[in-house]
Protein backbone atom coordinates (compact mmCIF):
# COMPACT_ATOMS: atom_id res chain seq x y z
CA UNK A 1 0.00 0.00 0.00
CA UNK A 2 1.32 3.41 -0.98
CA UNK A 3 1.79 6.29 1.44
CA UNK A 4 1.39 9.83 0.10
CA UNK A 5 3.20 12.69 1.83
CA UNK A 6 2.23 16.26 0.99
CA UNK A 7 5.53 18.14 0.81
CA UNK A 8 4.82 21.13 -1.41
CA UNK A 9 3.80 23.92 0.98
CA UNK A 10 5.70 27.15 1.53
CA UNK A 11 6.21 26.82 5.30
CA UNK A 12 5.94 30.58 5.74
CA UNK A 13 5.99 30.46 9.55
CA UNK A 14 9.39 28.76 9.46
CA UNK A 15 10.90 31.45 7.28
CA UNK A 16 14.50 31.14 8.47
CA UNK A 17 14.48 27.44 7.61
CA UNK A 18 12.10 27.32 4.64
CA UNK A 19 13.95 30.10 2.83
CA UNK A 20 16.61 27.56 1.84
CA UNK A 21 14.74 24.25 2.02
CA UNK A 22 11.15 22.96 1.91
CA UNK A 23 9.46 22.54 5.27
CA UNK A 24 9.60 18.69 5.28
CA UNK A 25 13.40 18.94 4.95
CA UNK A 26 13.81 20.94 8.16
CA UNK A 27 15.85 18.70 10.45
CA UNK A 28 15.15 17.15 13.83
CA UNK A 29 18.14 15.39 15.32
CA UNK A 30 20.07 15.83 12.08
CA UNK A 31 17.40 14.11 9.96
CA UNK A 32 14.67 15.78 7.84
CA UNK A 33 11.12 15.72 9.15
CA UNK A 34 10.27 13.75 5.99
CA UNK A 35 12.64 10.97 7.07
CA UNK A 36 11.01 10.79 10.52
CA UNK A 37 7.54 10.43 8.98
CA UNK A 38 8.64 7.81 6.47
CA UNK A 39 10.51 5.85 9.11
CA UNK A 40 7.35 5.67 11.22
CA UNK A 41 5.33 4.20 8.35
CA UNK A 42 8.15 1.88 7.29
CA UNK A 43 8.42 0.35 10.75
CA UNK A 44 4.81 -0.80 10.32
CA UNK A 45 5.68 -2.34 6.96
CA UNK A 46 4.62 0.46 4.60
CA UNK A 47 7.66 1.30 2.50
CA UNK A 48 6.40 2.70 -0.80
CA UNK A 49 5.97 6.47 -0.79
CA UNK A 50 4.65 9.09 -3.18
CA UNK A 51 5.98 12.50 -2.21
CA UNK A 52 3.99 15.41 -3.66
CA UNK A 53 6.57 18.08 -4.44
CA UNK A 54 6.13 21.83 -4.79
CA UNK A 55 8.17 24.57 -3.10
CA UNK A 56 11.88 23.78 -3.49
CA UNK A 57 11.08 20.23 -4.54
CA UNK A 58 14.53 19.93 -6.08
CA UNK A 59 16.01 19.84 -2.57
CA UNK A 60 13.95 16.73 -1.78
CA UNK A 61 14.91 15.14 -5.09
CA UNK A 62 18.59 15.73 -4.43
CA UNK A 63 18.33 14.31 -0.92
CA UNK A 64 16.90 10.99 -2.08
CA UNK A 65 19.08 10.82 -5.18
CA UNK A 66 22.14 11.08 -2.94
CA UNK A 67 20.63 9.20 0.01
CA UNK A 68 23.10 6.32 0.04
CA UNK A 69 26.01 8.73 -0.40
CA UNK A 70 24.85 11.00 2.42
CA UNK A 71 23.88 8.28 4.89
CA UNK A 72 26.11 5.29 4.18
CA UNK A 73 29.73 4.18 3.84
CA UNK A 74 31.49 4.91 0.57
CA UNK A 75 34.49 3.60 -1.28
CA UNK A 76 35.99 6.13 -3.69
CA UNK A 77 38.55 5.19 -6.33
CA UNK A 78 40.38 8.47 -6.84
CA UNK A 79 42.08 7.28 -10.02
CA UNK A 80 38.87 6.36 -11.83
CA UNK A 81 36.37 8.53 -9.99
CA UNK A 82 34.23 5.47 -9.23
CA UNK A 83 32.08 5.79 -6.11
CA UNK A 84 30.56 2.72 -4.48
CA UNK A 85 28.07 2.81 -1.61
CA UNK A 86 28.69 -0.15 0.70
CA UNK A 87 26.33 0.34 3.63
CA UNK A 88 23.92 -2.61 3.83
CA UNK A 89 21.71 -0.85 6.37
CA UNK A 90 20.27 1.78 4.02
CA UNK A 91 16.45 1.74 4.14
CA UNK A 92 14.73 -0.47 1.57
CA UNK A 93 12.14 2.12 0.62
CA UNK A 94 10.68 2.95 -2.79
CA UNK A 95 10.19 6.70 -3.10
CA UNK A 96 8.27 8.31 -5.98
CA UNK A 97 9.10 12.02 -6.16
CA UNK A 98 6.33 13.72 -8.13
CA UNK A 99 6.25 17.45 -8.96
CA UNK A 100 2.69 18.68 -8.33
CA UNK A 101 3.06 22.38 -9.08
CA UNK A 102 4.43 25.36 -7.22
CA UNK A 103 1.06 26.90 -6.31
CA UNK A 104 -1.21 23.84 -6.35
CA UNK A 105 -3.45 23.50 -3.29
CA UNK A 106 -3.62 20.37 -1.14
CA UNK A 107 -6.48 18.69 -2.94
CA UNK A 108 -4.94 19.47 -6.30
CA UNK A 109 -1.67 17.83 -5.25
CA UNK A 110 -3.57 14.65 -4.39
CA UNK A 111 -5.44 14.81 -7.70
CA UNK A 112 -2.18 15.00 -9.64
CA UNK A 113 -1.14 11.71 -8.04
CA UNK A 114 -4.28 9.90 -9.23
CA UNK A 115 -2.41 7.87 -11.91
CA UNK A 116 -0.31 6.33 -9.13
CA UNK A 117 -3.19 5.73 -6.71
CA UNK A 118 -6.43 5.05 -8.58
CA UNK A 119 -6.47 1.27 -8.18
CA UNK A 120 -6.25 0.67 -4.40
CA UNK A 121 -6.60 2.02 -0.87
CA UNK A 122 -3.80 4.44 0.02
CA UNK A 123 -2.62 6.44 3.02
CA UNK A 124 -1.74 10.12 3.17
CA UNK A 125 -0.30 12.56 5.65
CA UNK A 126 1.26 16.00 5.84
CA UNK A 127 5.02 16.48 5.67
CA UNK A 128 5.20 18.47 8.88
CA UNK A 129 3.83 16.30 11.69
CA UNK A 130 4.74 13.20 13.68
CA UNK A 131 2.77 10.99 16.05
CA UNK A 132 2.94 7.63 17.81
CA UNK A 133 -0.08 6.34 15.90
CA UNK A 134 -0.36 2.58 15.42
CA UNK A 135 -0.66 2.55 11.63
CA UNK A 136 -1.95 -1.03 11.54
CA UNK A 137 -4.78 -0.19 13.95
CA UNK A 138 -5.61 2.91 11.88
CA UNK A 139 -5.87 0.80 8.74
CA UNK A 140 -8.00 -1.83 10.48
CA UNK A 141 -10.33 0.92 11.73
CA UNK A 142 -10.70 2.28 8.21
CA UNK A 143 -11.51 -1.11 6.75
CA UNK A 144 -14.01 -1.89 9.49
CA UNK A 145 -15.95 1.33 8.88
CA UNK A 146 -16.07 0.96 5.09
CA UNK A 147 -15.95 4.69 4.36
CA UNK A 148 -14.30 6.57 1.51
CA UNK A 149 -11.95 8.33 3.92
CA UNK A 150 -10.64 8.18 7.47
CA UNK A 151 -8.93 11.09 9.22
CA UNK A 152 -6.93 10.78 12.41
CA UNK A 153 -8.38 13.11 15.04
CA UNK A 154 -5.89 14.32 17.64
CA UNK A 155 -5.85 16.63 20.62
CA UNK A 156 -3.57 19.58 19.89
CA UNK A 157 -0.63 20.33 22.17
CA UNK A 158 -1.25 23.26 24.48
CA UNK A 159 0.61 26.35 23.37
CA UNK A 160 0.86 27.76 26.88
CA UNK A 161 1.46 26.27 30.29
CA UNK A 162 -0.83 26.86 33.24
CA UNK A 163 -0.05 28.88 36.34
CA UNK A 164 -1.37 27.76 39.74
CA UNK A 165 -1.90 30.74 42.06
CA UNK A 166 -2.10 31.02 45.83
CA UNK A 167 -3.40 34.48 46.57
CA UNK A 168 -1.05 36.93 44.90
CA UNK A 169 1.75 34.37 44.60
CA UNK A 170 2.50 31.75 42.02
CA UNK A 171 2.45 28.29 43.57
CA UNK A 172 3.61 26.36 40.49
CA UNK A 173 3.78 26.21 36.73
CA UNK A 174 1.99 23.38 34.95
CA UNK A 175 2.91 22.39 31.43
CA UNK A 176 -0.08 20.69 29.86
CA UNK A 177 0.78 18.16 27.14
CA UNK A 178 -2.59 18.49 25.38
CA UNK A 179 -5.73 20.54 25.52
CA UNK A 180 -8.49 19.12 27.66
CA UNK A 181 -11.13 19.33 24.95
CA UNK A 182 -11.60 19.38 21.23
CA UNK A 183 -10.21 17.31 18.39
CA UNK A 184 -8.42 18.54 15.28
CA UNK A 185 -7.34 17.09 11.94
CA UNK A 186 -4.00 15.42 12.63
CA UNK A 187 -3.41 14.06 9.14
CA UNK A 188 -2.60 10.33 8.89
CA UNK A 189 -5.48 9.68 6.49
CA UNK A 190 -6.63 6.51 4.77
CA UNK A 191 -8.40 6.99 1.41
CA UNK A 192 -10.23 4.90 -1.11
CA UNK A 193 -9.83 5.84 -4.81
CA UNK A 194 -13.36 7.28 -4.73
CA UNK A 195 -11.84 10.35 -3.05
CA UNK A 196 -10.67 11.56 -6.47
CA UNK A 197 -14.26 12.19 -7.55
CA UNK A 198 -14.41 14.92 -4.87
CA UNK A 199 -11.34 16.77 -6.16
CA UNK A 200 -11.92 19.06 -9.13
CA UNK A 201 -8.60 20.65 -10.00
CA UNK A 202 -5.42 22.36 -8.71
CA UNK A 203 -7.47 24.95 -6.79
CA UNK A 204 -9.28 22.35 -4.68
CA UNK A 205 -8.42 22.43 -0.99
CA UNK A 206 -8.39 18.90 0.39
CA UNK A 207 -9.73 19.91 3.79
CA UNK A 208 -12.21 22.72 3.09
CA UNK A 209 -13.55 21.37 -0.19
CA UNK A 210 -13.13 17.61 -0.63
CA UNK A 211 -13.26 16.43 2.99
CA UNK A 212 -16.13 18.76 3.88
CA UNK A 213 -18.20 17.23 1.08
CA UNK A 214 -17.14 13.68 1.96
CA UNK A 215 -18.21 14.35 5.56
CA UNK A 216 -21.54 15.78 4.37
CA UNK A 217 -22.09 12.55 2.44
CA UNK A 218 -21.48 10.50 5.60
CA UNK A 219 -18.30 8.99 4.17
CA UNK A 220 -15.62 10.40 6.50
CA UNK A 221 -14.65 8.35 9.56
CA UNK A 222 -12.59 9.70 12.47
CA UNK A 223 -9.92 7.59 14.12
CA UNK A 224 -9.37 9.11 17.56
CA UNK A 225 -5.74 9.17 18.64
CA UNK A 226 -5.32 10.45 22.23
CA UNK A 227 -1.56 9.82 22.26
CA UNK A 228 1.41 11.87 21.11
CA UNK A 229 1.04 14.17 18.11
CA UNK A 230 3.09 17.23 17.24
CA UNK A 231 3.22 19.40 14.15
CA UNK A 232 6.18 21.51 13.07
CA UNK A 233 4.40 24.72 12.19
CA UNK A 234 6.46 27.35 14.01
CA UNK A 235 9.99 27.80 15.37
CA UNK A 236 8.57 26.97 18.80
CA UNK A 237 7.26 23.64 17.49
CA UNK A 238 10.66 22.89 15.97
CA UNK A 239 12.39 23.57 19.30
CA UNK A 240 9.88 21.31 21.05
CA UNK A 241 10.52 18.42 18.67
CA UNK A 242 14.29 18.87 18.86
CA UNK A 243 14.13 18.84 22.66
CA UNK A 244 12.10 15.61 22.61
CA UNK A 245 14.63 14.06 20.23
CA UNK A 246 17.56 15.08 22.40
CA UNK A 247 15.91 13.35 25.35
CA UNK A 248 16.43 10.11 23.42
CA UNK A 249 12.87 8.86 23.55
CA UNK A 250 11.05 10.16 20.47
CA UNK A 251 7.50 8.73 20.74
CA UNK A 252 7.05 8.50 16.97
CA UNK A 253 9.93 6.02 16.67
CA UNK A 254 9.40 3.90 19.77
CA UNK A 255 7.67 1.12 17.86
CA UNK A 256 10.61 0.96 15.46
CA UNK A 257 13.06 0.77 18.33
CA UNK A 258 11.21 -2.28 19.69
CA UNK A 259 11.38 -3.96 16.28
CA UNK A 260 15.10 -3.35 15.95
CA UNK A 261 15.78 -4.95 19.33
CA UNK A 262 13.64 -8.05 18.65
Cβ atoms 191, 143 nearer than 8 A: no
104 phi and psi angles, rounded to 5 deg: -65, 140
How many angstroms from the chain centroid is the CA of residue 238?
Answer: 14
Cβ atoms 191, 149 nearer than 8 A: yes
Q: Please calculate the CA angle 34-110-209 and round it to the nearest 5 degrees.
A: 115
Please tell me the distance from the alpha carbon of residue 123 to that of residue 44, in angstroms, as a whole number.
Answer: 13
Residues 6+ apart with CB under 8 A from 194: 148, 219
Select from 204, 211, 218 the least CA-distant residue to 124: 211
Please tell me the distance from the alpha carbon of residue 189 to that of residue 212, in angstroms, as a whole number.
Answer: 14
Domain chopping of the chain, boundaries: 2-151+185-261
Residues 6+ apart with CB under 8 A from 25: 32, 33, 34, 56, 59, 60, 63
For the whole model, what pTM was predicted?
0.86
Per DSSP bridges, beta strands 162-166 and 169-174 are antiparallel
Cα radius of gyration rounded to whole Å, the chain? 20
How would you write the pLDDT of the chain (262 residues) with one tens digit per residue? 999 999 987 766 666 665 678 999 999 999 999 999 999 999 999 999 999 999 999 999 999 998 887 887 888 889 998 888 777 678 889 999 999 999 999 999 999 999 999 889 999 999 999 999 999 999 999 999 999 999 999 988 776 556 566 675 656 666 655 555 578 999 999 999 999 999 999 999 999 999 999 999 999 999 999 999 999 988 989 999 999 999 988 999 875 443 333 2
Query: Which CATH topology does 2-151+185-261 take?
Result: Spore Coat Polysaccharide Biosynthesis Protein SpsA; Chain A (3.90.550)
Amino acid sequence: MKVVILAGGLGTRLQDESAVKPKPMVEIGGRPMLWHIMTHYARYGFKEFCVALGHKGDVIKQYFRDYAVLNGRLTVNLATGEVEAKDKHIEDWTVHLVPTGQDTLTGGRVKRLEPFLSDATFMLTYGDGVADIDIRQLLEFHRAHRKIATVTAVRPPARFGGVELAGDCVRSFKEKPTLGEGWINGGFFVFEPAVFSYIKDDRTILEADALEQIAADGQLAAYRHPGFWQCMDTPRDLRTLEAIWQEGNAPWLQYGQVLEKS
